[in-house]
Amino acid sequence: MGEIGRTTEPAKRTVRREFLAARNRLTADEVRQAASALARRALELPELARARTVAAYVSVGTEPGTLALLDALSARGVSVLLPALLPDNDLDWGAYAGEGSLARVRHGGKMALLEPAGQRLGPDAVTAADVVLLPGLAVDGRGMRLGRGGGSYDRVLARLERADAHPALVVLLYDFEVVERVPEEPHDRPVQAVVTPSAVRRFT
């Protein structure tokens, strides 16, 4: 999508709409095949091979699929934490124990999310993660991530910073969502790597 030099929220909203439209053009087969390839690529990451605790999320709709990856991590004995959206858009966390441990939750008029149905561990549980897998809509050559705009993961990243926690930050995307530049704001933080169905790219 070329270079986008503006850093305003309206610019971000415009770019988000473009990326969401591109995702919505994917077929169910394309989404399913991409999810399998994404899991294979992600499991090659040394950071995930070493991790004891991984904070992740459950994909919805045409997001790059994560369930195969969550199951593979659990099978390795990794403790997988999943988010539960709070009324103020912050995130609580719960443990993943297979697809049967998820509940579909609708938050107001927003898309229904799959969240952990068990005990809540508190917003600070994420600070124990060795790796945080982040959702997003795009990432650029500097590692700057374009999120959906709800601010939930901005809060997570700020919480990690306050706790002096330094997990590996990895965003999961489709190949076409790695671009030259995305709009950014002063509070945005870069990720260390992006995993797509065809590649892992690291940022310095």
Residue 107 belongs to domain with CATH number: 3.40.50.10420
Which two tokens mark 162? Answer: 């306050």
Question: What mean pLDDT value characterizes the chain?
Answer: 90
Residue 160 has pLDDT above 50, yes or no: yes
* Residue 42 resides in a domain: yes
Whole-model pTM? 0.90
- Could you tell me if residue 39 is inside a domain? yes
Structural domain includes residue 2: no
Q: Is the pLDDT of residue 122 over 60?
A: yes
In a domain? residue 138: yes
Give tens-digit pLDDT for 48-99. 999 999 999 999 889 999 999 999 999 999 999 999 999 999 999 999 998 8
Q: What is the pLDDT of residue 75?
A: 95
Write out the residue range of the structural domain in which residue 67 sits.
Answer: 9-202
For residue 4, tell me if it sits in a domain. no
- Count up the domains in the chain and report the number: 1
Residue 163 has pLDDT above 50, yes or no: yes
**Above 80 in pLDDT, residue 109?**
no
Taking residues 122-127, report their average pLDDT: 97
